[in-house]
Structure 1
Amino acid sequence: MKTAVKSVGLALVAALTCGCAGSPSNEPYVQRVSLTRPELLGGETIRTFSGVVRAAHEVNLGFKTAGQIARIHVEEGDYVRRGELLAELDDADYRLAVEALQIQYDQLKDEVERTKQLFEQKSVSANDFEKASAGLRQLGVQLQANRNKLNYTKLYAPTDGYIQKVNFSPAEMVDAGTALFLLLDVSRMEVEVDIPPVEYRRRDRFTHFACRAAGIDGEMPMRLSGMPPRADGNQLYHVTLAFAGQPDRRLTAGMNVEVLIGVADTTGRQGYALPFGSIFLEGETPSVWVFGADSTVRRRAVVLGNTDAEGRAVVVGGLDGGEWVVRAGVSALEEGEKARVVAEPSQTNVGGLL
């Protein structure tokens, strides 16, 4: 019995010895670090704001002459193109007026031709011939005016857009200039955005404008249309932007967009910005740890300038901007040491609970 117990004890000791030999605690410790990239200064910063698409203006459309509405060819919400027929007036009386003047004009024209022949034969005076010619020209003007009125009985779209409102129905009487339609002009869409005072004070450094919309690929270039020097009740400044080209057909009035404003850095500062925690002193030399592709860190001496407006260290020498620089954990590192990158915590998963 004692022999059996002794054998079991030896086996247990051997198992524990093997387990300890394979324990991870004997593996070399790898320092954990977080990284950052140097940010180039002296370039351009892109500011992002929320904006809304608006129609540049709304057009009230009406006939240029009075009459009774005969036909309306569109409905509210219809998209129309420039030159499309929208509505017509009853033109019977206008046609009769043109026909009557046409008869008078043709008759007077024949009389003027005969008078001209008599004038050339010196059978009538020059004064009589000039009176007849003047009468013909005056009647011609009246005839053209009535032809114009006949043409005015048809209403065409002056631009591309949407019929937002129809104010009358067929058989109703309208006067000249009465608004029959309200047309939303989509050929001149704009974007309105409000910016805070800190950005308004940088308005002379705005370099370019663009916007992005959900469901539309790419950025749409824009140009500044207006920026009144007056803040609203919320201390925001209203900015109006016009599309540099033809706006996308998928954009509609009231759609939310993301507005991008480029702001130039005119401070004259050159170099790269880094968090102060990434800088350490090697003797009296400012240095940073550069994380290599083989996961090792190498010391890199740098030249520091003044801090930037955001309180970061400005490196004016020693970096080319393509490096990954250790941001945290610099004091525990050694030259050529292996390091493991710690992932940044999620903004939406604080504490890693999900």
Structure 2
Amino acid sequence: MKSTTLTSLLLMLALISACTKETEKTAIPKKGMAIPVTVLELQKNSFSSPISGSGNTTTNNETLLSFKQGGIIDQIFVQEGDPVKKGQLLARLNLTEIQTGLNQAKIGLEKANRDFERVQRLYLDSVATLEQFQNFQTALQIAKEQFKAAEFNLTYSQIKANQNGFVLRKFANPGQQISSGAPVLQINGAKDGKWLFKATVNDQNWSKIELGDLAKVFLEGDNSQGIEGKVARKSMASDPITGAWWVEIELNEKSPSLASGLFGRAEIYPSAQTVGWELPYEALLDAQGDTGFVFVVKNDSLAQKIPVKLGKLSAKNIQVTAGLEGYSHLIVTGSAYLTDGSIIQVNRP
């Protein structure tokens, strides 16, 4: 019984001692006391911050195909997603009306040719006048041009693929009345052309990106290490609706798994260097947008809270591009108890 009581007392004393030590460890400094802090010497250097942007895959040669003249669609020989070869017949109009126009032009040409030959003989025999000869000569020329136009209309009453690729969209169906120039099919040159990723960025990041900057694209659902590429084009004006700016990244890979319109994220690595400071994440007090707050050492014994302009944020570090000019040391730990003007006791790591 005595042994049990003694054991209980020892456990109680150990618990009280542990609680006392923990209280001492986490005790909040009293007002007016110097607050111990750990500082870091500030060193300015150059770094390149990756720029992120979201967007979709596309190609550099997507084409809308249409009929030269209006009419009723007779047949469409492909569906969305079908591969096509250059010169392949994709669609055609009902040729009844067009063929009738060609036949009329052919008959008119034959008549004009006969009339011209007749008046030419009469002119040589001095029976027809020069004016009559010239009029029939002009009529023959007009008939030839009308026949060429009818042949041209017949040729463009069908749609052929202008490149190797795939059908992206089909805008019409057989039996549908369609006007001249209205899109019927959209194809791309994915088999021969370059795959692009069109990413949107804000105006500040747009100004940092240059043609030729390296990039990596990560597509949704793709667990690979990303597709490498480089910036091939930049927009010269913002989108009038969203206000966003875009850049086109030319992808190095011709993957069979790529398709037009895949959503993803791009990381662009600007060649232009940014001058600033890289700080440990715990030194940042709070942030809103691209502005944050940190504590720096003033007069070797005081804490001063200052705003800074933030660059890239990561899990361990933050990049500061402005605001630390004229300061030599940053407070890294102990800032939880600090206010602007607090007395500090500097502990160097």
What pairs with 1:1-354 in structure 2 (closer than 5 Å)? 45=48, 47-55=50-58, 61-158=65-162, 160-169=165-174, 171-183=175-187, 190-195=196-201, 199=205, 203=208, 208-213=213-218, 215=224, 219-226=228-235, 228=237, 238-244=244-250, 248=254, 250=256, 251-252=258-259, 253-265=261-273
Q: Distance in 2 between matches of 1:231 and 1:113?
A: 63
Deviations 1:20-43 (A, max 9, x none): xxxxxxxxxxxxxxxxxxx9966x
Unaligned runs of 5+ in 2: 1-42, 281-319, 326-347
Answer yes or no: is the 8 Å Cα contact 1:211–1:219 preserved in 2. yes
The residue type paired with residue 48 of structure 2 is T
Answer yes or no: is the 8 Å Cα contact 2:209–2:270 preserved in 1. no
- 1:322 is aligned to none
Answer yes or no: is the 8 Å Cα contact 2:87–2:160 preserved in 1. yes
The residue type paired with residue 51 of structure 1 is S
Task: Give aligned-pair identity as a percent.
Answer: 16
SS of aligned partner of 1:180: strand
Which structure: larger Rg?
Answer: 1
- 1:23 is aligned to none
Q: Distance in 2 between matches of 1:58 and 1:205?
A: 25
More displaced, 145-154 or 80-89?
80-89
Q: Distance in 1 between matches of 2:70 and 2:203?
A: 52
Answer yes or no: is the 8 Å Cα contact 1:162–1:185 preserved in 2. no
Q: Distance in 1 between matches of 2:82 and 2:133?
A: 57
Answer yes or no: is the 8 Å Cα contact 2:213–2:269 preserved in 1. yes
Answer yes or no: is the 8 Å Cα contact 1:76–1:166 preserved in 2. no
Unaligned runs of 5+ in 1: 1-38, 276-307, 313-330, 333-354
The residue type paired with residue 248 of structure 2 is A
Structure 1 residues 257 and 128: alpha-carbon distance in aligned structure 2, compared to 1, 3 A threshold: same
Structure 1 residues 134 and 232: alpha-carbon distance in aligned structure 2, compared to 1, 3 A threshold: closer
Answer yes or no: is the 8 Å Cα contact 2:74–2:93 preserved in 1. yes
Answer yes or no: is the 8 Å Cα contact 1:94–1:149 preserved in 2. yes
Q: How many residues align?
A: 235
SS of aligned partner of 2:50: strand
SS of aligned partner of 2:54: strand
1:73 is displaced (CA, Å) by: 0.4
Q: Distance in 1 between matches of 2:81 and 2:48?
A: 41
- 1:28 is aligned to none
Q: TM-score scaled to structure 1, two decimals?
A: 0.51
SS of aligned partner of 2:109: helix
Structure 1 residues 196 and 122: alpha-carbon distance in aligned structure 2, compared to 1, 3 A threshold: closer
1:135 is displaced (CA, Å) by: 0.5
RMSD, matched Cα: 4.4
Answer yes or no: is the 8 Å Cα contact 2:211–2:234 preserved in 1. no
Q: TM-score scaled to structure 2, two decimals?
A: 0.52
The residue type paired with residue 229 of structure 2 is M
Q: Distance in 1 between matches of 2:181 and 2:238?
A: 36
Q: Distance in 1 between matches of 2:251 and 2:122?
A: 64
Answer yes or no: is the 8 Å Cα contact 1:193–1:259 preserved in 2. no
Answer yes or no: is the 8 Å Cα contact 1:209–1:224 preserved in 2. no
